[in-house]
Amino acid sequence: MVETDDLAVLQTITTQGLPLGDLINVAGRYAEAGQAVMAEQIYKIWIQFNPDHPQLFIALFNCATLQSALGSSPAAIANLERAIALNPDFMPAYINLGGLQERAGGLEAAIATWNAAATRPLAVTGSNAHYVFSAYKQMARALLEAQQSGRAEAALWRCADLDPTQLDAISQLVAARLAQCKWPVLEPWERVDRRALLKGINPLSVAAYSDDPLLQLGAAAAFTERDGSCLPEAIVAERRNAPIDLTGRRLRVGYVSSDLRDHAVGYLMAELFELHDREKVEVFAYYCGPPATDALNARTRAAVEHYTDIRGMTDDQAARAIADDQIDILVDVNGHTRDARTSVFARRPAPIQVNWLGYPGTMGSSFHHYIIADPWIIPPELEGFYSETVRRIPCYQPNDRKRIVSEIRPSRAEVGLPEEAFVFCCFNGPQKITPFTFGRWMEILKRTPGSVLWLLDSNPETNARLREQARLRGIESERLIFAPKLANPFHMARYPLADLFLDTAPYGAHTTASDALWMGVPVLTLSGRGFASRVCGSLVRSAGLAELVCESAQDYVERAVALAGDRAATRALSERLDANRASCVLFDMDLLVRSVEELFLEMAADYQSGQRPKPAMANLDTYLEIGIGLDRDDREMLTEPAFATLYKAALARRHQARPLGPDSRLWTAEDIAAAERP
């Protein structure tokens, strides 16, 4: 039995020798007792006295793990490199070494380390396959964070090929292809078919891929389920049905977001927090994004009454913190986006939970009661595409009227635009450009000689890909001009150089549209059925330009061509935007905040009267499977006139094979009766 006293342990190592298993146990006890420094010293001494031990590489690895936790990265890197030299087949060392190299700023060194692990000839075992998969996944993650989608795609393909059941790898693979405008986006291979690719897509990518709101709903529900969010034993039970008695107190509203910083959503929300009526609402912010010290984050901290950083908390801890704050209404400002804390909402830390602003679509969850929209984004006839109960304000999107615009206004020549050309622009991310949208743009350019299309710069490969697509459609590649990314004040200042903003579909401009409209640039948009495809229409209408919201693809093309041929009409639209900026609904933040607060109070009153809505979850898996089956590369669901008929026919066929219960969407009791008639 090894003594745990410091001197006794050291004496045993230096005089009698300590078996590796005992070393691991003793060092582990020190680490668990909060004495990581002592545990590290024990490993270092053992390593010094056992230079020829056949399993020295394990001790080096464990010592490096402790050193990494203690912040001694150079020492940890040296020990991991030595472990690999002693046993080149010891895969965990490669994984950890790459991580340390990446954190030290050596991205290429990390990629080389992980690639060495992934391509090393090893015995085919489950353990080795796991580490190869992990190496490729680390490569993909690091490359995506470095905005190198092409290289990341290759690593993600390897991940998906190794284990097609890992849907997160498939999700990231499809997202990488979207970001690079690689068409068709879904490119199946022997191990992964089209259905598997589509089933693995993140709901946010589905919104960019197809304007099929039932596919989006089913994908959101499946994503929530497999994300491990629906764990009933994890519910904070005492807050789930807590009464909301506002006698002598204000309504407590909590916002959970990873984007209360220099981020598009952060800009949208900044003034909202400043305008909340503190006599009615007590505002709590729960931050779950990357470390933030920027000016926008500081502004948010100053505006809210309570700011809690939950990044380092587990889901249980974060839910407990929210429950302890006795939040009445908890607002999910992430939805199915990066750094979301959906599992916190699954624990029901507040009696009313709301989906708003950060994610353009339904959550497909059993624990989001409401979604906030407006009359254009979700009219009554489209409510069936959402699991939440729909509540509306005049315009769904807040805006920051204090946004900073650089006083330096560039000329067209300074940004590479022709002086006399009609300039169409679209500063949406490349992941929103579909082949159907691009085809419409090329038709517009073909019919407006001399015009150019000003796009946001992505990377040289994607830019070249779009130029080649233009050439294949008969348009000179030079007519596509790419604007380098700039800090927001300078980006805003160059907007007026464009004549007309051409929106994408099915995922349109959101913050980008507000920016253009604020700077007096008219926005032409095409509204579909889904949330993401209708936001821009709402913004344009709220800015007073309802005539620029198209409901057919041909109308979109014809209006763009007409405006390019009538400079006076286009200038008149810009002048109207400038004149209405201070009075239009889009930028009336006092109206928006007042409307949101009234909505929150109505939700609380409904809850107190026993009218909290129950999310509509029936048949969502069936809608997902049907949507996957209906998807084709040559079909744009946004322009499909027989959308409901396609689904109803598929529902009827499925009902014949396996009876389906009714739902509140396309499969009613009347539909069932009709399907069962002889």
SS3 letters across 4-70: CCHHHHHHHHHHHCCCHHHHHHHHHHHHHCCCHHHHHHHHHHHHHHCCCCCCHHHHHHHHHHHHHHC
Mean pLDDT over the full length of the chain: 94
- Banded model confidence at residue 230, pLDDT cuts 50, 70, 90: low
Per-residue model confidence as pLDDT tens digits over 152-211: 999 999 999 999 999 999 999 999 999 999 999 999 999 999 999 999 999 999 999 999
User: Residue 51: what pLDDT?
Assistant: 92
Secondary structure in 3-state letters for 268-334: HHHHHHHHCCCCCEEEEEEECCCCCCCHHHHHHHHHCCEEEECCCCCHHHHHHHHHHCCCCEEEECC
Per-residue model confidence as pLDDT tens digits over 423-454: 999 999 999 999 999 999 999 999 999 999 99
The C-alpha atoms of residue 625 and residue 140 are separated, in whole angstroms, by 29
- Mean pLDDT score, 583-592: 98
Phi/psi for 229 (5° steps) reads -85, -20
Does residue 3 carry a pLDDT above 60?
Answer: no
33 CB contacts (<8 Å, ≥6 apart)?
none
User: Residue 4: what pLDDT?
Assistant: 47
Phi/psi for 351 (5° steps) reads -70, -25
Does residue 494 carry a pLDDT above 50?
Answer: yes
Per-residue model confidence as pLDDT tens digits over 27-72: 898 899 999 999 999 899 999 999 999 999 999 999 999 999 999 9
**Cα four-point dihedral sign 336, 340, 342, 348:** negative
Please work out, in degrees rounded to the nearest 5, the angle formed at the alpha carbon of residue 46 by the alpha carbons of 42 and 51: 155
Does residue 277 carry a pLDDT above 50?
Answer: yes
Query: And the tokens for 384?
Result: 């069936």
Q: Which residue has the tokens 């908390």?
A: 313
Query: And the tokens for 156?
Result: 């993600």
User: Residue 233: what pLDDT?
Assistant: 61
User: Residue 16: what pLDDT?
Assistant: 66
Amino acid at 610: G
% of residues, the chain, pLDDT over 90: 90
Per-residue model confidence as pLDDT tens digits over 61-92: 999 999 999 999 999 999 999 999 999 999 99
Per-residue model confidence as pLDDT tens digits over 104-143: 999 999 999 999 999 999 888 888 999 999 999 999 999 9
**CATH numbers and ranges of domains, the chain:** 6-193 (1.25.40.10), 232-394+599-608 (3.40.50.11380), 413-587 (3.40.50.2000)
- Mean pLDDT score, 341-362: 96
Query: And the tokens for 122?
Result: 């090893």
Looking at residue 485, the DSSP 8-state letter turns out to be: P
Residues forming a β-bridge with 456: 483
Query: And the tokens for 393?
Result: 């304000």
User: Residue 229: what pLDDT?
Assistant: 63
Does residue 6 carry a pLDDT above 70?
Answer: no
Backbone φ/ψ region at 619: left (φ over 0), alpha (ψ -120 to 50), beta: left
User: Residue 57: what pLDDT?
Assistant: 96
% of residues, the chain, pLDDT over 70: 97
Residues 509/501, Cβ–Cβ less than 8 Å: yes
Does residue 298 carry a pLDDT above 60?
Answer: yes
Residues 280/356, Cβ–Cβ less than 8 Å: no
638 CB contacts (<8 Å, ≥6 apart)?
210, 211, 436, 505, 506, 526, 528, 529, 533, 553
Residues 468/181, Cβ–Cβ less than 8 Å: no
Looking at residue 399, the DSSP 8-state letter turns out to be: -
- Banded model confidence at residue 12, pLDDT cuts 50, 70, 90: confident
User: Residue 590: what pLDDT?
Assistant: 97
**Long-range contacts made by residues 577-581, C-beta under 8 angstroms, separation at least 24?**
577/517, 577/520, 577/521, 577/522, 577/543, 577/544, 577/545, 578/520, 580/543, 580/544, 581/518, 581/520
Instruction: For residue 103, give the 3-state DSSP assignment.
Output: helix
User: Residue 482: what pLDDT?
Assistant: 98
**Cα four-point dihedral sign 642, 645, 650, 651:** positive
Instruction: For residue 96, give the 3-state DSSP assignment.
Output: helix
Phi/psi for 576 (5° steps) reads -65, -40
**Predicted TM-score (pTM) of this structure:** 0.93
Per-residue model confidence as pLDDT tens digits over 466-480: 999 999 999 999 999
Does residue 1 carry a pLDDT above 70?
Answer: no
The C-alpha atoms of residue 115 and residue 110 are separated, in whole angstroms, by 8
